[in-house]
Amino acid sequence: MNIGILSKRKTMMTGQLKDCLESKGYIVSIYTLENLIINGTLLNNDFYILKSKSLFFLYAGFFLEANSIPVIPNPQISFLQKNRIQSHFLMKKVGLLAPKIYLGTADTFKNQLDLKDFPFILKPIMGSGSKGVRIIRSYEELKSENNTILYLEKYIKGIHYNVYFIDNEICTLIKPPLSNEHVDMKKIETPDDIGDIIKKWKDYFNGDLLFGHLDIVREEISNKLYVVDPGSFPEFTNWKCEISPVESICNLIINKYKKLHKNQNNI
């Protein structure tokens, strides 16, 4: 079986997935910006793993699905998590708490926002993790050129968690605020209410969410849990549970492909 991986890089998790799959006898090709062309040549593989949520790779995923080539994780689900506006309303649809958001230009914000509303978190509309994310404490820190639309999120003061999940295994860690998944984190036992959030999140996708992570903040004042960022395919850098993330993810993906392939043949 021929498998393609759509990824920004050939190293880290992508390289480990390739090694794992090849050890199982599969032929694996990695497609980065250096060699990815969205055309009929992509149809030579049996299925694809969508490691990157960058738009170009998402476009490739949509192209492949339109040509009946399975893509795992599902490109539409990955897009919903990549676009912060989409993910905000998705959280509300699932029934999870998310911070209040604001969209507008810097000038609009200066005219409409009250000083008591600060601080905010400025985030790229298309993105995940901590890249391009910063705290905004005053009007003076709000800048946008050519009336660029800015995405602001109400800052939630409290304990920040990075919560990984692979199938039914949950790994909960305390993280520094606004940090990425690669900083050192302390593993804790998963609180029941965080476990409930992960279950509700996974159940919404009815078996299509094999793994991922949620950034969650427990508000200091209310003790409520707010989901501030989802991720469809993290690096699992801080995974500190017993199972091997790479081996487990490979098995989940292969089993998912076999199920999709069987259903497709039965149509």
Entry pTM: 0.93
Q: What is the pLDDT, as a whole number, of residue 207?
A: 92
Rounded to whole angstroms, the Cα distance separating 62 from 105 reads 31
| Third-level CATH fold of 157-267 | D-amino Acid Aminotransferase; Chain A, domain 1 (3.30.470)
Q: What is the pLDDT, as a whole number, of residue 127?
A: 73
Q: What is the pLDDT, as a whole number, of residue 129?
A: 63
- In the chain, where are the structural domains located? 2-72, 101-154, 157-267
Q: What is the pLDDT, as a whole number, of residue 251?
A: 97
| Third-level CATH fold of 2-72 | Rossmann fold (3.40.50)
Tens of pLDDT along the chain (267 residues) come to 999 999 999 999 999 999 999 999 999 999 999 999 999 999 999 999 999 989 999 999 999 999 999 999 999 999 999 999 999 999 999 999 999 999 999 888 888 888 778 999 999 998 766 677 899 998 888 877 678 899 999 999 999 999 999 999 999 999 998 888 899 999 999 999 999 999 999 999 999 999 999 999 999 999 999 999 999 999 999 999 989 999 999 999 999 999 988 877 765
Give the CA distances from residue 120 to residues 52, 84, 93, 130, 217, in Å, rounded to whole numbers and listed in that order: 28, 15, 23, 14, 14
Q: What is the pLDDT, as a whole number, of residue 180?
A: 86
Q: What is the pLDDT, as a whole number, of residue 143?
A: 77
SS3 of the chain? CEEEEECCCCCHHHHHHHHHHHHCCCEEEEECCCCCCCCHHHHHCCEEEECCCCHHHHHHHHHHHHCCCCEECCHHHHHHHHEHHHHHHHHHHHCCCCCCEEEECHHHHHHHCCHHHCCEEEECCECCCCCCCEEECCHHHCCCCCCCCEEEEECCCEEEEEEEEECCEEEEEECCCCCCCCCCCEEECCCHHHHHHHHHHHHHCCCCCCEEEEEEEEECCCCCEEEEEEECCCCCCCCCCCCCHHHHHHHHHHHHHHHHHHHHHCC
* Residue partners of 76: CB distance under 8 A and separation at least 6: 62
| Six token digits for residue 256 | 């998912």
